[in-house]
Amino acid sequence: MSIRVRMFASLRERWQIDQVELKPEGIATVADVWRALTGETMTDRVLAAVNMEYARPETPVHEGDEVAFFPPVTGG
């Protein structure tokens, strides 16, 4: 099993990633997923969710999880 990662809106365009499967080796947290994909440290301009619940950089990530990254929301 792997970790499914999704990006939305400006982040998807910036990193050219819509959806990708990631091997779980070496990945313990949301921040680890972000670093594995972008090579960067998460800033407060990047929001995250694990299994469709808001998450923080230190939130644990497990095999089979869906991790999403997106910019600040602008609905309504």
Residue numbers at the binding site for other proteins (CB under 8 A): 6, 8-10, 13, 49, 52-54, 68, 70-76
Q: Which residues pair with 47 in a beta bridge?
A: 70
Beta carbon of residue 21, minimum distance to other proteins (angstroms, whole number): 18
Cβ atoms of residues 30 and 61 within 8 Å: yes
Closer CB to other proteins, residue 10 or residue 23? 10
Closer CB to other proteins, residue 26 or residue 75? 75
Report the alpha-carbon distance of residue 38 to residue 53 in Å, rounded.
Answer: 22
Closer CB to other proteins, residue 23 or residue 72? 72
Report the alpha-carbon distance of residue 15 to residue 9 in Å, rounded.
Answer: 10
